[in-house]
Structure 1
Amino acid sequence: MIIKIDFGNDFIQYLSCSSKVGRKMNCIQGNFLQWIFNEEKNTKYWALDNGERIPNYDAIAIVEWLNNVGFKKGIVKAKIITNPQLKVKKNLYY
């Protein structure tokens, strides 16, 4: 399944995942956001902005979370794609 991720300001990325994972993306979006905003569990995707630490992420962080945190067991669940050849099945907004 191809998922279009819109981060606003014309920044769009695509990921490919199994249909089973893709169907759950709206439900698990909240779990990802809890992880990305938890500075104790996740420091890789934080940056300084005017002296304040803020989360700084893109689809790479979502793929990392899907493959290593959200669905730990099994094979790789998702990957980034640059030019989707198939129709986008789902849109997510961050």
Structure 2
Amino acid sequence: MIIKIVFDDNVIQYISCSTKVARKINCIQEDFLNWIFDEEQNIKYWALENGERSHPNYDANAVVEWLNNVRFKRGIAKAKLITNPLLIVKKTLYY
């Protein structure tokens, strides 16, 4: 299933994931935000200012990583970033 992720008017990305995951994506969005804002769990997606972490800096790659390695790490169906969706977008997330 294709999910459109809108970060702002200029940044729109798409991911592909299983139907099971896509159906839950709006419900688990808050879990993703808790993960991305957790400074201790997530160093990779934080912007640095003067050598200090200042705020999360992420895109759809972070969503894919979280789905595959944190939320559904035992699942077989993995999410992936896609550039040109050939199928119809079924869900849209706004960040």
Q: Which TM-score bucket, shorter chain as reference?
A: over 0.9
Structure 1 counterpart of 2:72:
71
Q: Shift in Å at residue 48 of structure 1?
A: 2.2
Deviations 1:25-46 (A, max 9, x none): 0001000000000000000000
Name the amino acid aligned to 2:46.
W
Name the amino acid aligned to 2:59.
D
Matches within 5 A, 1:1-94: 1-49=1-49, 53-94=54-95
TM-score (norm 2): 0.92
Deviations 1:31-83 (A, max 9, x none): 00000000000000001257661100000000000000011102242000000
Name stretches of at least 5 consecutive residues in structure 1 with no aligned partner: none
Name the amino acid aligned to 2:63.
I
Moved more, 47-56 or 61-70: 47-56
Q: Quick check: 1:4–1:12 contact (8 Å CA) kept in 2?
A: yes
Aligned-pair Cα RMSD in Å: 1.4
Moved more, 74-83 or 47-56: 47-56
Identity of counterpart residues, as a percentage?
A: 69
Moved more, 51-60 or 12-21: 51-60
2: CA distance between counterparts of 1:75 and 1:52? 34
Equivalent residues, number: 94
Q: Quick check: 2:18–2:77 contact (8 Å CA) kept in 1?
A: no
Q: Quick check: 1:14–1:80 contact (8 Å CA) kept in 2?
A: yes
Q: Shift in Å at residue 10 of structure 1?
A: 1.5
Name stretches of at least 5 consecutive residues in structure 2 with no aligned partner: none
